[in-house]
Chain A
Amino acid sequence: MIMADSGSSEEVAVIGNTDITSTESENNIINTMVERGTSLLKKMEINVAEAEKRTGKNTVNMQETYTVYLIEIRPAESVTEGGTPAAPDTLWRRYSEFELLRTYLLVTYPFIIIPPLPEKRAEFVWHKLSADNLDPDFVERRRVGLENFLLRVASHHVLSNDKIFFLFLTEEKGWREAVLDTGFQDKVDSRLKSVSAMLRVKNPDKRFTALKQYSDELNTVVSQLLRVRARVADRLYGVYKVHGNYGRVFSEWSAIEREMGDGLQSAGHHMDTYAASIDDILEEEEHYADQLKEYLFYTDAVRSVCKKHELMQYELEMASQDLAYKKQQKEELVTGTVRVFSLKGMTSKLFGSETQEQRESRLSAIEQSIEEGVEAVMEKNTECRDFVSAAWEDIERFKEQKDKDLREALISYAIMQISMCKKGIQVWSNAKDCFNKM
């Protein structure tokens, strides 16, 4: 198991009052999922309370407007005791700092499906929704998304114990430097390396291949769903708003009618209400879209775990290939046969064999190198096995979380639809009463 900052995680463990070692966490994964007893969240209440617009100079000394988010933390006990909760510790963070935190986590815990951040720019929006980053609705939805991200990290049995994460919540100044000091950037795998790994790995783990395929499918289907949902929202908006025109025409028409006038006039008001009701309905539905988006972005996190596994598998294969080559060399040297046509073989045939001493020293050198190779392979093997077991446990946790979350999201979506139907029935019944009076 790669506990990158094992030193620092001990420190955090004191704060979190948990003493999870990597082996223990492996055994307890299901438990942690069900009762998040070991997570930071048990000890601490975290929320992103508000957002604020700020203007400042950026690195290239350009004036820019950005949004900062207020993070509040307070000890959980103070809330559960029932008295007035203690004043929370607060600090401000920018979206880019959240991004840095996530990148750090991604590199440091390659075997964990790191929770995604809310979208940087509004995507899959229906036309009425602003795509402006400073739009209050967008900022508000992002605030909710960022809070959700922090809660997800804080409830993760491994991530919640990370020191940098803790500092993110507690130290406003100097946090960025502390992150960079961990040297996590050196561990970032180059894109080229991952691509070659993907292309050349010979014995991919079937489970990871299947997972990768699943996450690709999920990505495709959820982004398609979001796109279609945006169009459905657009059309529904149109249907409601066109009904609003009845409001105007009924009221104009009522002016020339005697008996029908009053009924028409008030029915017109109900049509106005109907047209206006869609705004709230669709705003609420946006929350459902955000839930889906989180899982759309999760697919990237899943893929990055798969990629990391490919890379390790590739390194393992390279090591064992290297070892096999060395063993072959040794065999050639011992038996004197050349299986494959080689320049060395040619020279030895042309210029006579080397002396016994020379052979001995070459043999011992090869044996030395084989020993090293065996060690390397073993090391890679262990590394890979550890990775797989750690990753798989997190994947299992993720799957369970995903099924639970999405089922809940679907239920709340259905409840939203029911409330929309109820509103519709209400408005049309009111209108019907008016028509009846005509």
Chain B
Amino acid sequence: MIVTGLKHEPMLCTLAAPKGHPITNQLLSELFLLLTAQILPQPSDPELTNGTLVDGSSPASASSTSALLSRLQVEENSEADAAELYASTETRDLFVTVDDPKKHVSTMETYITYRVSTKTTRIEFDLPEYCVRRRYQDFDWLRVKLEETQPTNLIPPLPEKFVMKGVVDRFSEEFVETRMKALDKFLKRVADHPVLSFNPHLNAFLTAKDLNKRQGLALLTKMGESVKHVAGGYKLRARPPEFNAMGEYLDTFSQKLGTIDRIAQRILREQSEYLTELREYASVYSSWAGSEDELQRPLEGVAGCVTTCCGALEDLSENMSQDFLPVLREYVLYTETMKNVLRKRDQSQAEYEGRLEAAVLRRQEDRTPMPLEVEKCQDKMECFNADLKADWERWQCNKRQDFKQLLIGMADKNINYYEKCQTAWESLVTVLQEKQTEDKTSETN
């Protein structure tokens, strides 16, 4: 079994899977078993014992995958590199962080840069640690490059580039903080990806003092172009059922995500209106306290409680808009990216099928062997399928973790809000009831 970075091919084809290579150690296979056991319902699958992540259990893809593998097995030399590559990925030897935003004001423009720190033991890096400053458009450059050079992979999304001027202050602490978190998430996802993290553009992004964005890395040719040229109108004969299922899943999921996003925003709006009224409510109690003698303290107490609740609500809304919404947004974009990759896969299948059909027709006429280009197309499609499936499982796993965390966070924040309010009201009741019994005793005296 092998993996592949076919450098002499006109494309970079990768299989996001570790192989049954001697380097694969005990820890690694355990890790995979753990990982795949969650994703795949068939833990007894023979391929799993080899530590394979490729979902070969589906009969539709099994034959094509093995066909691909047998073909790729010729490239013996790349196998060792690739295996080493994967082994190191899974032990996590690349750590990146985005933090410390700084504002730069020049005569031409004002912008924010973020500190990108890297810690690594990979041999691709000259030093174990790097620290560079990057701005949003550098991240954007990286993502474009990744998309160009890894067309078969799912590239994590960046936060939205455009913000409506006037509506959002691009330099406000809040905005910068949210964007920084999103950029950090993006870079971590790339760095944790077994294929993307070895992309030379990432290396340049993490290490270069000055990022020369025009610099084309010669060894990597664009392959996205060839896909785009394929006639889009071609109707697929049969999309493998697992990709159909993915497409359907993504449609429903993005729809639900949109609804959740709308609900969350609506709740924030309702909360902010509630907060406005609540503040006034507190101030009415205060002003009432001003015209009372005996009731002054109790009324001030209520005003204080309501004010405390206002503070707690403010915290809740702030947390939700800063932690909850951005994650939803990221997943909206992530889903879109996923759909794009799926579409590109369909195109590559279309290209293959188109060429195959033409070749079959010709062969019927002059009995020539299957031309090489058809086989190349088939390879490309198989690569796509394999990459996509690996990325899909990874994405599903991430999604589940992220949403679990997100929703638990939401529950926690609400619980925390109610606890703060409850404490405030409870202390008020104690004070008021103490006063009441005090009055009663003084009355009887």
Are the CB atoms of B295 and A403 closer together than 8 Å?
yes
Q: How far is the CB of A245 from chain B (nearest CB, A)?
A: 5
Q: With A253-B256, A424-B418, A438-B404 known to touch, is A410 a contact of B288 (CB < 8 Å)?
A: no
A419 to B291 CA separation, bound complex (whole angstroms): 30
Q: Is residue B213 within 8 Å, beta carbon to beta carbon, of the partner chain?
A: no
Q: How far is the CB of A213 from chain B (nearest CB, A)?
A: 9
A260 to B291 CA separation, bound complex (whole angstroms): 57
Partner among B256, B411, B418 whose Cβ is within 8 Å of the Cβ of A435: B411
With a cutoff of 8 Å between Cβ atoms, the chain B residues found around residue A388 in the complex are none
Are the CB atoms of B274 and A228 closer together than 8 Å?
no
Q: How far is the CB of B369 from chain A (nearest CB, A)?
A: 45
Are the CB atoms of A249 and B284 closer together than 8 Å?
no
Q: Is residue B242 within 8 Å, beta carbon to beta carbon, of the partner chain?
A: no
How many chain B residues have a CB neighbour from A under 8 Å? 54
Are the CB atoms of B428 and A414 closer together than 8 Å?
yes
With a cutoff of 8 Å between Cβ atoms, the chain B residues found around residue A399 in the complex are 294
Partner among B252, B288, B305, B414 whose Cβ is within 8 Å of the Cβ of A424: B414
With a cutoff of 8 Å between Cβ atoms, the chain A residues found around residue B302 in the complex are 410, 413-414
Partner among A229, A243, A259 whose Cβ is within 8 Å of the Cβ of B400: A259
Partner among A221, A256, A259 whose Cβ is within 8 Å of the Cβ of B288: A221
With a cutoff of 8 Å between Cβ atoms, the chain B residues found around residue A34 in the complex are 443
With a cutoff of 8 Å between Cβ atoms, the chain B residues found around residue A243 in the complex are 263, 267
Q: How far is the CB of B160 from chain A (nearest CB, A)?
A: 23
Q: How far is the CB of A217 from chain B (nearest CB, A)?
A: 5
A245 to B421 CA separation, bound complex (whole angstroms): 24
Partner among A214, A260, A403 whose Cβ is within 8 Å of the Cβ of B404: A260
Q: Is residue A368 within 8 Å, beta carbon to beta carbon, of the partner chain?
A: no
Name which of A49-57, A77-85, A425-433 contacts chain B. A425-433
Are the CB atoms of A429 and B274 closer together than 8 Å?
no
A221 to B287 CA separation, bound complex (whole angstroms): 8
Q: Is residue B230 within 8 Å, beta carbon to beta carbon, of the partner chain?
A: no
Query: Chain A: which residue is nearest B259 at the CB level?
Result: A249
A245 to B280 CA separation, bound complex (whole angstroms): 28
Q: With A224-B284, A235-B274, A411-B429 known to touch, is A435 a contact of B414 (CB < 8 Å)?
A: no
- Chain A-chain B contacts (Cβ-Cβ < 8 Å), number: 144
Q: Is residue B249 within 8 Å, beta carbon to beta carbon, of the partner chain?
A: yes
Question: For chain B residues 109-162, which have a beta carbon within 8 Å of chain A?
Answer: none
Q: Is residue A197 within 8 Å, beta carbon to beta carbon, of the partner chain?
A: no
Are the CB atoms of B267 and A242 closer together than 8 Å?
yes
Are the CB atoms of A225 and B284 closer together than 8 Å?
yes
Are the CB atoms of B274 and A425 closer together than 8 Å?
no
Q: Is residue B48 within 8 Å, beta carbon to beta carbon, of the partner chain?
A: no
Question: For chain B residues 33-70, which have a beta carbon within 8 Å of chain A?
Answer: 38
Q: With A256-B253, A267-B407, A425-B419 known to touch, is A228 a contact of B280 (CB < 8 Å)?
A: yes
Partner among B274, B298, B407, B412 whose Cβ is within 8 Å of the Cβ of A410: B298
With a cutoff of 8 Å between Cβ atoms, the chain A residues found around residue B270 in the complex are 235, 238-239, 242
Q: How far is the CB of B431 from chain A (nearest CB, A)?
A: 10
Are the CB atoms of B277 and A421 closer together than 8 Å?
no
Query: Chain A: which residue is nearest B408 at the CB level?
Result: A435
Are the CB atoms of B408 and A411 closer together than 8 Å?
no
Partner among B263, B285, B417 whose Cβ is within 8 Å of the Cβ of A245: B263
Query: Chain A: which residue is nearest B417 at the CB level?
Result: A424
Query: Chain A: which residue is nearest B405 at the CB level?
Result: A435
Q: Mark A208-250, 1 if CB is under 8 A from B, else 0.
A: 0000001001100110110011011011101100110110010
A224 to B282 CA separation, bound complex (whole angstroms): 12
Are the CB atoms of B422 and A418 closer together than 8 Å?
yes
Q: Is residue B23 within 8 Å, beta carbon to beta carbon, of the partner chain?
A: no
Q: Is residue B442 within 8 Å, beta carbon to beta carbon, of the partner chain?
A: no
With a cutoff of 8 Å between Cβ atoms, the chain B residues found around residue A435 in the complex are 404, 407-408, 411
Q: How far is the CB of A218 from chain B (nearest CB, A)?
A: 7
How many chain A residues have a CB neighbour from B under 8 Å? 50
With a cutoff of 8 Å between Cβ atoms, the chain A residues found around residue B284 in the complex are 221, 224-225, 228
Q: With A252-B256, A418-B422 known to touch, is A228 a contact of B281 (CB < 8 Å)?
A: yes
Q: With A260-B404, A414-B302 known to touch, is A432 a contact of B411 (CB < 8 Å)?
A: yes
Q: Is residue B415 within 8 Å, beta carbon to beta carbon, of the partner chain?
A: yes
A348 to B417 CA separation, bound complex (whole angstroms): 91
Q: Is residue A202 within 8 Å, beta carbon to beta carbon, of the partner chain?
A: no
Q: How far is the CB of A85 from chain B (nearest CB, A)?
A: 30
With a cutoff of 8 Å between Cβ atoms, the chain B residues found around residue A249 in the complex are 256, 259-260, 263
Partner among A214, A222, A238, A421 whose Cβ is within 8 Å of the Cβ of B422: A421
Are the CB atoms of B432 and A421 closer together than 8 Å?
no
With a cutoff of 8 Å between Cβ atoms, the chain B residues found around residue A260 in the complex are 400, 403-404
Are the CB atoms of A407 and B429 closer together than 8 Å?
no
Are the CB atoms of A403 and B294 closer together than 8 Å?
yes
Question: For chain B residues 426-445, which have a beta carbon within 8 Å of chain A?
Answer: 426, 428-429, 432-433, 435-436, 443
Q: Is residue A436 within 8 Å, beta carbon to beta carbon, of the partner chain?
A: yes
Q: How far is the CB of B26 from chain A (nearest CB, A)?
A: 27
Question: For chain B residues 233-264, which have a beta carbon within 8 Å of chain A?
Answer: 249, 252-253, 256, 259-260, 263
Q: Is residue A207 within 8 Å, beta carbon to beta carbon, of the partner chain?
A: no
A243 to B425 CA separation, bound complex (whole angstroms): 24
A331 to B301 CA separation, bound complex (whole angstroms): 64
Are the CB atoms of A259 and B281 closer together than 8 Å?
no
Q: Is residue B195 within 8 Å, beta carbon to beta carbon, of the partner chain?
A: no
A100 to B192 CA separation, bound complex (whole angstroms): 82
Query: Chain A: which residue is nearest B305 at the CB level?
Result: A414
Are the CB atoms of A421 and B421 closer together than 8 Å?
yes
Q: Is residue A346 within 8 Å, beta carbon to beta carbon, of the partner chain?
A: no
A234 to B288 CA separation, bound complex (whole angstroms): 22
Partner among B38, B285, B288, B422 whose Cβ is within 8 Å of the Cβ of A425: B422
Query: Chain B: which residue is nearest A229 at the CB level?
Result: B281
Q: Mark A8-47, 1 if CB is under 8 A from B, else 0.
A: 0000000000000000000000000010000000000000
Query: Chain A: which residue is nearest B271 at the CB level?
Result: A239
Query: Chain B: which residue is nearest A433 at the CB level?
Result: B411
A435 to B277 CA separation, bound complex (whole angstroms): 32
Are the CB atoms of B263 and A221 closer together than 8 Å?
no
Q: Is residue A415 within 8 Å, beta carbon to beta carbon, of the partner chain?
A: yes
A238 to B295 CA separation, bound complex (whole angstroms): 32
Q: How far is the CB of A274 from chain B (nearest CB, A)?
A: 9
Q: With A425-B418, A429-B415 known to touch, is A417 a contact of B425 (CB < 8 Å)?
A: yes
Partner among A218, A221, A236, A407 whose Cβ is within 8 Å of the Cβ of B436: A407
Partner among A232, A418, A428, A436 whose Cβ is within 8 Å of the Cβ of B278: A232
Are the CB atoms of B425 and A438 closer together than 8 Å?
no
With a cutoff of 8 Å between Cβ atoms, the chain A residues found around residue B9 in the complex are none
Q: Is residue A122 within 8 Å, beta carbon to beta carbon, of the partner chain?
A: no
With a cutoff of 8 Å between Cβ atoms, the chain B residues found around residue A94 in the complex are none
Q: How far is the CB of B249 from chain A (nearest CB, A)?
A: 6
Q: Is residue B225 within 8 Å, beta carbon to beta carbon, of the partner chain?
A: no
Are the CB atoms of B259 and A438 closer together than 8 Å?
no
Q: Is residue A2 within 8 Å, beta carbon to beta carbon, of the partner chain?
A: no
A310 to B415 CA separation, bound complex (whole angstroms): 56
Query: Chain B: which residue is nearest A239 at the CB level?
Result: B270
Q: How far is the CB of B311 from chain A (nearest CB, A)?
A: 15
Q: Is residue A422 within 8 Å, beta carbon to beta carbon, of the partner chain?
A: yes
Q: How far is the CB of A92 from chain B (nearest CB, A)?
A: 38
Other 16 A-B pairs with CB < 8 A, given A414-B428, A435-B404, A438-B407:
A221-B291, A228-B281, A234-B277, A235-B278, A242-B267, A243-B263, A249-B260, A253-B256, A411-B432, A411-B436, A413-B302, A415-B429, A421-B418, A425-B418, A432-B412, A438-B404
Query: Which 6 A-B pairs have CB atoms at the shortest separation, nearest pair first?
Result: A235-B274, A421-B422, A432-B411, A424-B418, A403-B294, A435-B407
Jot down 28 A-B pairs with beta carbons below 8 A, ordered by A.
A214-B291, A221-B288, A225-B285, A225-B288, A228-B277, A235-B270, A235-B273, A236-B274, A242-B267, A243-B263, A253-B253, A256-B253, A403-B294, A406-B295, A407-B298, A407-B432, A410-B301, A410-B432, A411-B436, A413-B302, A414-B432, A417-B305, A418-B426, A421-B419, A428-B415, A428-B418, A431-B407, A436-B404
